A and B are shown apart, each in its own frame.
Chain A
Amino acid sequence: MTSAPSPLWFIDRSSGEVTLLLMSAVVILGILRAALPTASPFLVEGMHINAALLAIAFGGLHILAAILDPFAQLGPVDALVPFVSPYRGTWLGLGVVSGYLYGVAVLTSWPARRLPRPAWLWLHRTMYAAWALALMHSLATGSDARNEVFLFLNVVAVAGVLVAFLGYRVAEGWSRLPVLWAALAVVAVMTALGIGIWAADGPLQTGWARSSGTPPDLLHSP
């Protein structure tokens, strides 16, 4: 077994973080498109779609690097079947599930929306879950969750999505269904707070590598 990370491991980590940021941009642009339908619809929707395609490209690089890298010895099965990997199985599994949910949101929108709008809308909302799971996957699976740069980028991603959701989506829906949108705003804030508290108590603590399920022969230090 390889004992030191290879360049592919670094590519895996960097492309994973870039994918999360692109997914955040996709969510923010989707929120803006829904909440402000008359504000440059061609540009906003175009960037929403193109950022989604860019996220697929970087996500593909992330998965490919993870499979090819000899450090964690991951295989195609680990990339396709959630929660079976010997390397941080639970947390890697969240990334796999996130990928499938992202796939649902993209594939039901492309090449043309063939579904009735209400069905498409509900399937498209899986993107919120895909994004939240990708964030947790990033914090818990990444071997550099405590790195200041990665942490800063994750905080920016969460703040951006939360501000867009509360400032535009909730504000727009409030006038029509105040109770529903108030409840959704509470759910969004609680989810963000919950992930923050979990991260502070788990991935950002020393010893997370061991408790998260890293195989013992890959651990550098206790």
Chain B
Amino acid sequence: MSEPWRAGIDADRRKRRRRITNQREALRQLTVGAAVAAAGLNAVLFVQTGVDQSGAAAVQDAIVSVVNGLFPGAGLKPPANQPTPSPNARPIATTGGS
């Protein structure tokens, strides 16, 4: 037969343990969120720096180079030339008019 005061203490302990577990989980989620945000920002700034300094083509080459460095078997290649127009495309006037 448990004493009423003991039941109160046990309830307090359970509540404290639950609070600690909840805070640990919140800390874990916040840390993962911060790490993902930092990695994402790093990627955005990587592209931003590259475009600003060397243009979009250089960034494309840089990304391909990084992917190939990380995954040598990927065989990723930057496009050799500009995409060709569709054979049945109708010309559209982009100048003229009044």
Which of A's residues lie within 8 Å of B, judged by CB? Answer: 4-7, 9-11, 13-15, 17-18, 21-22, 25, 40, 42-43, 46-47, 50-51, 54, 58, 143-144, 147, 149-150
B45 to A42, Cβ gap below 8 A? no
Contacts of A143 in B (CB 8 A): 53
* Interface residue tally for chain B (C-beta within 8 Å): 28
Interface residues as binary, B33-74 with A (CB distance below 8 Å gives 1, 0 otherwise): 011001001111110111011100011001101100000000
> Looking at the complex, which one of A18, A40, A43 makes contact with B45 (CB distance below 8 Å)?
A18
Q: Which residues of B contact A11 (CB under 8 A)?
A: 42, 46, 66
| Cβ contact of B34, chosen from A9, A51, A144, cutoff 8 A | A51
Contact of B76 with A by CB under 8 A: no
Across the interface, which residues of A come within 8 angstroms of B50, CB to CB? Answer: 5, 7, 10
| A141: min CB distance to chain B, Å | 13
CB distance from A209 to the nearest CB of B (A): 12
Q: CA of A14 to CA of B52 in the docked complex: distance in angstroms?
A: 12
Please determine whether B66 and A7 come into contact, CB atoms closer than 8 angstroms.
yes
10 example contacts (A-B, Cβ-Cβ < 8 A) are as follows A4-B58, A7-B65, A10-B62, A14-B43, A42-B24, A50-B30, A50-B34, A58-B42, A144-B53, A150-B45
Expressed in whole angstroms, the Cα–Cα distance for A7 and B70 within the complex equals 13
Known interface pairs A42-B27, A43-B30, A50-B31. Does A18 touch B48 (Cβ–Cβ under 8 Å)? no
